[in-house]
Each structure stands twice: as C-alpha cells, then as structure tokens.
Amino acid sequence: MSEENKHRATAAAILPLVGGAGNVTSVAHCMTRLRLGLRDRSLVQDEALKALPPVMGVVEDDTYQIVLGPGTVARVTPEFEALVEEGRADAPGEPVAPAAPAGGSDPVTAEELAAQGAALRAERKAKNATPFKLFLRRIANIFVPLIPALIGCGIIAGLNGLLVNLGWLPGVTPALAAIASGFMALIAVFVGYNTAKEFGGTPILGGAVASIVVYAKVADVEAFGQHLSPGQGGVLGALAAACLGVYVEKRCRRWVPESVDVLVTPTVTVLVSGLATLFGLMFLAGEVSAWIGDAADWLLAHGGAGAGFLLGGLFLPLVMLGLHQALIPIHTTLIEGSGFTVLLPILAMAGAGQVGAALAIYLRLPRNTSVRTTIKSALWPGFLGVGEPLIYGVSLPLGRPFVTACAGGAFGGAFVGLFNQLGTDVGSTAIGPSGWALFPLLDGNHGLARTIAVYAAGLLVGYIAGFVATYWFGFTKTMLAELNAAPDEQAPASPAPVAAEERVAEKV
C-alpha cells in the first residue's frame, strides 16, 4: 500500500469511530494529535479507536484528540478533512450512532486502566475550564502553529553550526544561515497574525502592527530616553501589540459607520496600536524579555540541580493542571534571545521518568498480559517523546506509578540542571519534540558533542530513577495482588463500578 493510501485508510478507519462526518464540527492538528470538535461525544467509540494500530492513544480536552505521532498526523489530517467533506456532501443530516462497544471489561486489564484514565481526563478538563487556564490555552494556540517552522529552522541551524565548526562547505553555510534565521527574524509578524486570529480580530492587521517590532527603521525612534532597537520586545511585544490592535479594531467596528469602515477601521487600528507599540510596548516588552532571560540564567546558575529537580518532577503535574501552556511564550522568548531554551531539555526528563516507570510496571506485572501489551505498544513512542499513551493508559490510572515516574523525571532534571550550574548549558533551538526526537535540536555553549552527552546521560538517569522508584515504591501488596492475577483467577462477573478517582486514591 502506498503512503498516501495508508494515510487515507487510517483516516477512513477513524471517521466512523468518532460518529461519522456529521458528528465532526472542526478538524485541526498539532505536532502529534488530530484534534476534533464533536457534536455528540457519546457517539465516539474510544476502545475501538485505541485498538487501531496507528492510534497511540486519545486525550479529551477542549477538543477530542487522537494521538497519531509526529509526521503521521500531518499526513492523516488532510485525508480526514477530505473524507469529512465527502461524507457531508453525500449524506447531510444528523450523525448515526455507532454500535455500542462490547460490555464490561476486567477491572485489572488495560481497558480498565484506560477507562480510569478517561475519567481522570474528564475531571481534569472540568477543573481546567477556569478563565485563567482558558486564557493560557489561547496563548498556546498562538504559538503552537509556529512549532513546525521552529523545528525545521532549528535543525538547519544545528546542521549549519556543525558545518562551520568542521570548516566544510564554506560556500553553502551562509545560505544555510539565512534559511535558518529568516523565520526567527520575522517571527514577531507571525505571532501578531495568530494573536489577532485567536482573539477575534483581522489577522493581517495583527501582523501589520507586529511587523513594526522588527522594522529596521525603528532605530530612529526614541522612547524613554533611548533609541529603540529592531526586534526589541520580540514575541512578547508582538503579542501585546496585536492584542491592543484587536481591542482598537473591535471598538472601531462598534462606532465607525459601515460606509467608511473599510477606510477608517484599518487606519485607526494600525495608527493607534503602532504608536502605542513604538512609544511604550516595545520598551516594556523588551524589559520583560530581558528579565525572563536573566531569570532563567540565574535560576540554573544558582539553583542548578535543585531547580532541575523541581522542574523535571513537576512538569507533568503542570500539564495535568493546564499550566504548562504558560511556558510556551517563555521558551520562544529564550530562543529568540539566546538561540536556544535551557528549560526544555530539563522538562523533557519528565518523559524519561515515564519510560522508566513503564519498564518497571512491565516487569512487576508478569501475569497481566493486557497491561503489558499496552506498554509494549506505547513504549517506543515514549522513547521518542510522545508520552500520552503511557501517561493516560498506564501510569496515571494506577496512581502511585505516576508519582514515582515524576520522581524519575525529577532526578533526570536535577542531573541536567547540575551541569547548567557547572557552566555547561544544554538547550534546544525549538520547542515541541522531546525524548530522543530532541537530539537534532540540541545546542549549548560548549560544543554539540558535550551538549548531546549531557542530555543523553540525563535521559539515562531519568530512565533508571523512574524504573527504580516504580519497581520498589510504585505498588502496594494489594495492588500487586489485584493487578497480577492470572486470567483464570479473576472473577467472571464484572464488579460494581467504582469511580476512577476513588480507585487511584486507594492505590496511592
């Protein structure tokens, strides 16, 4: 089967399991997930979806998210969109409910753990629907579409740096430098465009206002007693400028007569927002950007292992709370200022802890073939930084192994943080990838070889610490007895339903 037919077959297999074309209201994707807006969540067959070979897991948030992995999702999404459009054209109307999935599942199988994971996701979704967290989600929506370009340019920058250090292809390296740097030079424009789009303004006006930040002639403008610099304020200045532009535009739409709206509204929006950007926002955002860079340097220079321990150990709980999205503009600001973010390699250790924990669970449950099968299918994506299948399908529903996995991430983060404190910066030139997938994006202040060695050693520490902590402290005797029962020892009747959070509480 050709690649194109394979991805279309995957899309065709997914569509009926989410209720058909009539049940799909929106289609989008990020680095690893197909994100669907659905009319009726009850029409989705979760277990049948998870059983599809290309599907690594599902996550329910503000959208229904199917984890397909990097690369695959970008190819499946357009095929899925085409099938949805075809389905709507051929059979408009209400979606037809799919056949109900099979009955009760065994309480100690992967299916039961997946059900508990779904319940925990639903609870987390309800708790995360606060105004502050919804605002953070909108901020994340501005930066997530930029990740593919950050990755591509970051890898080219790393390749160019390697060629320059080796003295190879001197006629090509200037061209590679231009290719790698072009996007970062204009990233403020893309941030402004996405900001206006996300907050309900005209995207091109957001881009126009944000472009002021990177215009070379701003050096002729004086604000707060000093001349501005092109790019001063960076993505934060562009974000603030575009937000102001949306506000001004909406006010204009309310009061300007329709007959002159096309002339007055764009002019007033760009003029008012532009002046505010030049004589206020660029300077203030520049100060905030400089403070973020200084704070990150100070944290790792003085906190070192302790800071890395906290960052690596608390990252997954931050994800559960929806607060990790606040880190995206911080990463982007660090990359824009110094060429790489020193925080991402430390946070990536959280995934290493999950992998180590999964290996320990696999060995501690030799008779639970269902859970072991789930781990075998989710382990390789976990090594590549796609952790959702392990988190939601194994460690989080079990409770204690999730905590011990976080401990593994903490020790891995402490290791990388210690080297930062000793003067070896380990950074990433882009955001998005994690695990082994982060190797092509690594950069630092002491050469690529040392940077790669420290990051690889940090992953190894995370694997080992997550494994040891889970193997020895991840299970109570009761949990092992329940989860390790052979199939013929399990009761034939399904037990009375127990709330997922109660079961996790018992196991913790």
Q: 332 near 431, Cβ under 8 Å?
A: yes
Q: 55 near 374, Cβ under 8 Å?
A: no
- The whole-angstrom separation of Cα 261 and Cα 253 is 7
Handedness of CA 416, 420, 424, 425 (dihedral sign): positive
For residues 220, 221, 223, 229, the Cα torsion angle rounded to the nearest 10 degrees is -60
Specify whether 153 is catalytic.
no
Query: 64: part of which helix (H) or strand (E)?
Result: strand 64-67
Chain CA centroid to CA 398, Å: 23
Which candidate, 249, 239, 21, places its Cα nearest to that of 135?
Answer: 239
Contacts of 117 (CB under 8 A, 6+ apart): 391, 392, 393, 396, 397, 500
Both tokens assigned to 236: 């934060």
Helix, strand, or coil (residue 232) = coil
Decide the pairing of beta strands 222-223 and 226-227: antiparallel
- Catalytic residue, from 30, 153, 243, 406: name it: 30
Q: 325 near 140, Cβ under 8 Å?
A: yes
Catalytic residue ranges = 30
